Amino acid sequence: MVQKSTLLRPDTELFIYYIEGIIPAHHRIDNDYFIGNWVEDDFSFLFFTQPATEEVLETLQAFPGFSLIDQYQMSYGEWQGGNVEPLRIGRFLLNPTWIKASPKENDISITLDSGVVFGNGGHPTTQACLEAMEIACSGNKTRTMLDLGSGTGVLALAGAKLGCKKVLAVDYNFLATKTALTNVFLNKLEDRVLVINGKAEEQLSVATDLVVANIHYDVMKELLNKEGFYTQKWFILSGLLTSEAEKILTFLQSKPVLILKRWGQGEVWHTILGITQNS
């Protein structure tokens, strides 16, 4: 079943309510225009496609101490940082739900509904991860993949399109998980991609051919301290600022890994491709 976010278009108006306090993901908000709840640290952002101040204030009554800090109105295009259009990254062609560019020969087309989750493919880390994934999957021997911090699921979808038969997409944010699941169904990849809501650092018990972690630095440090990380074959580490990338590379010098390529030298965001030597 595809969620309502697929109805969003660049000119759709969003009404966003900024709440101090974490409203649980399972809490029901009885409003047909409710899109979802994005939780960040100790705050919640409630998204609607029509004004819903009354419903939001009613919701807050169930959570003593919570408060409405601010509210915003903007178009979906503005929320996503500009017009959302088909995006080409190497062989990948990422299409929003309302428009599809004509694929070229050997293109890999993915329909991507970002909803209100960031991750429409335009970020440099996403683009570098896609390039790194093509390298890791080029020999057609990469059959299993773990996508940690999956967001909209774009990298998990790309892995399945590149030939991975089993892909596990993990995100701690419930709204991101719902969005990724929507994209799995939109691309008819439910037989290959499983989406779960959980902590990335708890998902390394099973060895895979490729682990992709486009994730916060603090979480990545925990991943690299897990023995299970070094049972994975290929790894892609991304979402790193310059100083963070240097710290990660220094840490890995004492580990059984081989760094194959790095993206982002001289730029803001960095991505690292490598293989473990224990796999």
Domain ranges of the chain: 4-79, 119-276
Query: Which tokens belong to 211?
Result: 């682990």
DSSP structure class, residue 41:
T
Percent of the chain with pLDDT over 70: 95
What pLDDT score was predicted for residue 130?
96
Q: Label residue 18 by pLDDT band (50, 70, 90).
A: very high
CATH 3.30.70.270 assigned to domain 119-276? The reply is: no
What pLDDT score was predicted for residue 101?
85
Place of tokens 């976010």: 5
What pLDDT score was predicted for residue 115?
86
**Beta-bridge mates of residue 93:** 88, 109
Question: Does the structure show a pLDDT above 50 at 3?
Answer: no
β-pairing, 234-241 vs 43-48, is unpaired
Stronger pLDDT, 210 or 279, i.e. the higher one? 210
The amino acid at 255:
K
CA of 155: how far to CAs of 13, 54, 119, 130, 193, in Å?
28, 38, 10, 7, 11
Q: Label residue 149 by pLDDT band (50, 70, 90).
A: very high
What pLDDT score was predicted for residue 20?
97
Q: Are 163 and 142 in contact (CB under 8 A)?
A: yes
Percent of the chain with pLDDT over 90: 75
Instruction: Give the contacts of 170 (CB within 8 A, at least 6 positions apart).
Output: 146, 147, 148, 149, 150, 195, 196, 197, 198, 199, 200, 203
Give CA–CA dist 197/252, Å, rounded: 28
Radius of gyration of the chain (CA): 19
Taking alpha carbons only, the member of 232, 223, 221 closest to residue 256 is 232
Question: Does the structure show a pLDDT above 80 at 83?
Answer: no
Alpha helices (H) along the chain: 53-60, 76-79, 124-136, 154-161, 174-186, 217-224, 242-252
Tell me what the mean pLDDT of segment 144-166 comes to: 96
Mean pLDDT of the chain: 91
Tell me what the mean pLDDT of segment 95-119 comes to: 87
What pLDDT score was predicted for residue 40?
86
Exposure string of 152-183, with b = 16+ CB inside 10 Å and e = fewer, is: bbbbbbbbbbbebebbbbbbbbbbbbbbbbbb
**Of 3-7, 32-36, 109-113, minimum mean pLDDT range:** 3-7
Question: Does the structure show a pLDDT above 60 at 90?
Answer: yes
Residue-wise pLDDT tens digits, 37-59: 998 889 999 999 999 999 999 99
Give CA–CA dist 155/147, Å, rounded: 7
Taking alpha carbons only, the member of 111, 258, 144, 123 closest to residue 212 is 144
Q: Are 182 and 2 in contact (CB under 8 A)?
A: yes
